[in-house]
A and B are shown apart, each in its own frame.
Chain A
């Protein structure tokens, strides 16, 4: 390779370098121009404040969140008893007689408390269950009621609860009553509750 070739090669390389520099400048200028155009054409929202607010709300809800137990309710309509006759002075006002459909005998279920307040003795009609754990008493009550409600045609229950009976035991008995199906296929819903004196109070 002679010297002319070397000069021409270095010249070409120099030209290439200049071209590269020019291209770089052009690209940079065009990028600066693009950025300048963009600065005027678009609006950038400041998200910081909104994010702060959103996270504060989120923290509040997380801290106050209380996942409750699965609660439900046993609904009952318990009207106040009215006397059959309302008398004042010489006037005696009789309430209208009940319709024939209203004549039905309630199934009387009495629940006596044990010393701990659980169900200790349960009487259904003429049957009596006692001297067994409470769970067994509820099972016996259930089987007895199934036959009585479906076959004997009782459509209401008069529940006599020992005044010393615990609320939970009362609700267990109510639960057994509301599980019963009438002869018509409907669920038993008519339950009246009244208290009786405790065996332990006598």
Chain B
């Protein structure tokens, strides 16, 4: 402890270590914070794929995150989309016009599907086919690689 004691009546604690510590903690939290989590529905029970290594591809560029809930609702852009086909169509047209691509051509956007593990293939394929018919052809199906699924 290198506190500077000038006289018997004055004692100044050395703040340098605590400041170092606090700034290191702040740096850590700033690095691990995930702003993409705003587009993510945390209530979903994602499917658990044991120890297998799925085909992974570096996700770059734009993403369209679609959350498929167990009750059939689809959330995207932070809110429930009652007409998912219409929403995907609008997204596709907007992306195509921004990128200067003809409508219907393959779009350079990764569709990230975060679906509850209890939904049926029918519900899933309805969303997937809506994406495919609008030009989205790259999909990321989010799963949990290991660990126990949440209760419920």
Contact = CB atoms under 8 A, between A and B. Distances in A.
Interface of A: 31, 35, 47, 50-51, 54-55, 57-58, 61-62, 64-66, 68-80, 117, 161-168, 170-172, 174-176, 178-179, 187, 189, 193, 195
Contact of A168 (B26, B118, B145): B118
A200 to B, nearest CB: 11
A47 B19 contact: yes
B124 interface: yes
Nearest to B52: A175
Interface in B98-152: 106, 112, 115-122, 124-125, 128, 132-133, 135, 137-147
Given A167-B118, A171-B141, A64 B54 contact: no
20 contacts: A47-B15, A50-B19, A58-B25, A61-B26, A61-B30, A71-B143, A73-B142, A75-B54, A75-B56, A75-B57, A77-B139, A78-B132, A80-B132, A166-B118, A168-B118, A170-B124, A178-B52, A179-B52, A187-B55, A195-B122
B33 interface: yes
Contacts of A72: 49, 54, 56, 142-145
